[in-house]
Every structure is written in C-alpha cells, then in structure tokens.
Amino acid sequence: MVRHVTTPQQVSIPGTDFLVEQYRLPNGLRVVLSPDRGVPVVGVAVVYGVGIRSEVPGRSGFAHLFEHLMFQGSANVAKLEHMSYVQGSGGTLNGSTHLDYTDYYEVLPSNALERALFLEADRMRGPAITEENLANQIDVVKEEIRVNVLNRPYGGFPWLKLPPVMFDTFPNAHDGYGSFEDLEAATVKDATSFFETYYAAGNAVLAVTGDFDVAEAVTMIERHFGDVPTRPAPTRRDLTEPDLTAERRSSYVDKRAPLPAVAVAWRVPDPAADITAYLPYVVLGELLTDGDASRLVERLIHTERAATSISGYVGVMGEPFAVADPTAMILSAHLPNGGDVDKLLAYTGEELTRLAEDGLAKTELARVKARIAAHLLREDDAVINRALRLGTSEVLHGDATLATRFTKLLAQVSEEDIVSAAATLTPDRRAIIEAIPGGTK
C-alpha cells in the first residue's frame, strides 16, 4: 500500500505502508515479518548488532574477518554448502560488515523459505571456527585489502582515510579493514570469544519479507531458531566524542590516483536520539550535490571548473538510513589536474553561507525531497532491501517500523530546517582529508 504525504511546498511524496509484525523469541531473538504476496519471492536477513566500532585495539578488521568465517560451515552444514543450498534453490546470498552492524541475507523463491531459515539458524548456533578456516579467511581478507585499498586508486577514500582525522577514539577512528599484523595475530580463541559475545540471539534481528504466510513462518522460525542458546546482548560501548572546535586537516600521497581528491566532513545530530534534527542534513547533502541543478555541481563543476565530480551524503560509509552516532555529513570531490583545494573549499563555504543567509529557491527543496523519496521507494521495492532496512532500523533505532516512515519524515523537513543545518557547516567544525596524486603536491 502507498500513501501520499504533502510537503510544505505542496508536492505529494509517496510513502511506504507495508505490513510489519514483530515479536521476540524467549532466547531474545527479535523477529520482524513483512508479508507481500505479490511476487513468489522471499527475503531473509539476519542483522547482528556488531560492527567495525565493536573492535578493540590489536583486533582491527575482526568484525569483517568474522563475517567471512560465518560462511565457512556450521554444525550441520559443511563448508560451501550454505552457498550451494541457496543457489541450488534458485536464490542468491551475501553478507556485509558496517560500522555498527553486520548482516547476512538470502533471496529465494518463496517455497525455499524454510531452507534459508534452517541455514541461518544453524550458523547462529555456531559457525565452524577452526584453525584451517581462520587461516584461509585471513588470507582472503588480506587479498581483499590489496585489491580494494592498497592497489586501487583512491582505495579507502574517504571512508578509511577521513575518520582518523575527524575522531580521536579507537572505535571511531581506526581502520575497519584492519592491519595485516592484527589479522595475522587472530586466534581461534579470539574468534570463539567474538562469536560468544556478539553473535548472541539477543543481539540479532531476523527479518523476513515477501511471499509467505505469517502463521506458517512463525511455526518455521520457532522450529529452527527456538532452541538457539540464550545469551544476553552485549552492552553497546560508549562511542561519544566532543564535536570539533577547530578545523582538522590532513593529506596523504596516493601514487595510483590520477587526480587530486578532497573530502570535508562535519558532525551531525544523533540519528537515533533526534532523527528530526538529523534528517535535514540528509536532504542538505542531496540539495548541494545531486544532479546538474544542485548548488555545488553548478558552482564547482560548471562555473568555476574547480572540481570534476562532487558528492554529498551522510554516514561515513554512505548509509544515511542505517547509521549510528557519532556520524558525519561528507562532501567528497575530485579536482582537475593542478586543482586548488583551498579555492574549492572557499567556493563551498560561499555557497553554504549563501544558502544559510538567502534560503532556498521556490521549488528547490521539493525537487530534492522527491528525488530522495523516489530512491528510497525503488530500493524498498526489492524484498531483500526491505528486509535489511527493517532489520537495521530495529538494531540501530530499536524500532523496525521506522523503516516505513522515512519518506514521511523527509516530507516534514522544512526550508528553515535546511537553512539552520547549512549554518552549522562552518570551517571551525570541519575535518578535511586530501588525496595527493603521484607523489607531488
């Protein structure tokens, strides 16, 4: 079902209104069900409240390494069988590690729902943590770092390079891919302890979406997850840090980068504690950089020729609707050969000041909110995206149904909210990271 929300500029923005049912098993597992019988496909996602910011010194990269271990078999599933069972059913699967959560998911024909539930429950009871599995997955992760970071132009820019400039504490600032030294030092004992601490049923959300009967799904979930051992969810670490009061700036040489690049970030309000104050920054990032009509594309690319590309978003990993505090709004740009970073920063500051002082053009806000809403609705059309958004909303906000209200909340963002947000993006609150190509400044 789709309902329409009227914005202050009288543009109708459609919002999702899919059915959501929630309950909790005695072992603490939270279950979110969202049936949609339109297409014979189901999405199954298990989202755990553990991520890069759960790591401790000496164990950088461990959350991502453990994600790999979860695909190496479990008590009743041999190595590679999880993948073969899903693909043999006509489905697909994957997993991913983020700052504050890790997800595992399958998309299958609806008649294979129970197979996916069995597979996820079996590895929730315990993955096959062996010396052999640990060693080969350390090698896999190290190769992934080589391919995605060390041997790629702009590898890790800005998501790995910016946090150490902006933040001071280890959870917020460290390299989430991990150092080779830390990865090689990992032991089976470390992995077992990590599993027992963070992969408890009470620290997980199971989300099922698509073509299924709720009563039948509840029975299947109880059959497969009901006897998963009860372990309490870990207490979330205190990640708070004070806001910046003076500009921080750093640079590094990227020998593989053909052009200079720069990323600028400002802290934004806590998305869980005050989503009303947070969402204007989501809209502002798009307003500044989304499309040829946006302010910074027009100024930096078309008029001043100060940049070859520009993007703006909230969340270090670019996930505005699946992020926890502390987080940031980021403007990231590539410059032409010989480009001047200081001029680009000055032009950006002028546009932010103009926005804060003069406000918005007549249709500017409505256009941007409509584009964001359209993107969200397209994403939620896929059952697995819906499952992941429900699961992450429950893990990060304690409210799965928030996933159904994002477009409604965006529609309520006013011009005054945007102007106020722009006024906070001052030089004394920003962190800057520059990638310098070819070993020369």
| CATH no. of 248-437 | 3.30.830.10
- Report cis status (omega within 30 of 0) of the bond before 40: no
Whole-angstrom CA distances from 351 to 83, 280, 331, 424, 426 are 50, 17, 13, 13, 12
Residue 435 contacts by C-beta under 8 Å, 6 or more apart in sequence? Answer: 154, 157, 161, 251, 252, 254, 257, 260, 261, 262
Cα–Cα distance between 205 and 322 in angstroms, integer? 14
pLDDT band at 111 (very low <50, low <70, confident <90, very high): very high
Q: Tell me the mean pLDDT in the region 178-193.
A: 97
Check: CB of residue 16 under 8 Å from CB of residue 34: no
Cα–Cα distance between 374 and 372 in angstroms, integer? 5
Residue 289 contacts by C-beta under 8 Å, 6 or more apart in sequence? Answer: 296, 297, 310, 311, 312, 331
pLDDT band at 16 (very low <50, low <70, confident <90, very high): confident
Q: Give, as one character, the DSSP assignment of residue 244.
A: P
Q: What is the pLDDT of residue 6?
A: 40
- Asked if residue 118 has pLDDT above 70, the reply is yes
pLDDT band at 4 (very low <50, low <70, confident <90, very high): very low
2 three-class SS: strand
- Asked if residue 10 has pLDDT above 90, the reply is no
Residue 68 contacts by C-beta under 8 Å, 6 or more apart in sequence? Answer: 137, 140, 141
Task: Write out the residue limits of the CATH 3.30.830.10 domain(s) in the chain.
Answer: 14-225, 248-437
Per-residue pLDDT tens digits for 213-242: 999 999 999 999 999 999 989 998 899 999
Beta strands in 98-154, from DSSP E residues, in sequence order:
102-109
Domain 14-225 homologous superfamily, CATH: Metalloenzyme, LuxS/M16 peptidase-like (3.30.830.10)
Query: Within its chain, how far is the Cα of 413 from the centroid?
Result: 22
Cα–Cα distance between 18 and 382 in angstroms, integer? 13
What are the beta bridge partners of residue 419?
none
Q: What is the pLDDT of residue 440?
A: 47
Q: What is the pLDDT of residue 53?
A: 97
Check: CB of residue 371 under 8 Å from CB of residue 30: no
What are the beta bridge partners of residue 71?
none
Per-residue pLDDT tens digits for 21-37: 999 999 999 999 999 99
Check: CB of residue 132 under 8 Å from CB of residue 79: no
pLDDT band at 12 (very low <50, low <70, confident <90, very high): low
**Least confident span in 44-53, 199-208, 363-372:** 363-372
Check: CB of residue 47 under 8 Å from CB of residue 394: yes
Per-residue pLDDT tens digits for 359-399: 998 889 988 988 888 888 888 889 999 999 999 999 999 99
Q: Tell me the mean pLDDT in the region 144-167.
A: 97
What average pLDDT does the chain have? Answer: 94
- Most confidently modeled of 36-40, 247-251, 401-405? 247-251
Q: What is the pLDDT of residue 2?
A: 41
**Least confident span in 9-23, 85-99, 105-119, 274-288:** 9-23
- What are 403's two structure tokens? 């996933």
Q: Tell me the mean pLDDT in the region 426-441.
A: 88
Residue 415, CA atoms < 13 Å, CB-side half-sphere: 15
Check: CB of residue 185 under 8 Å from CB of residue 10: no
- Asked if residue 252 has pLDDT above 50, the reply is yes
Q: What is the pLDDT of residue 334?
A: 98
Q: What is the pLDDT of residue 11?
A: 54
What are the beta bridge partners of residue 329?
266, 314
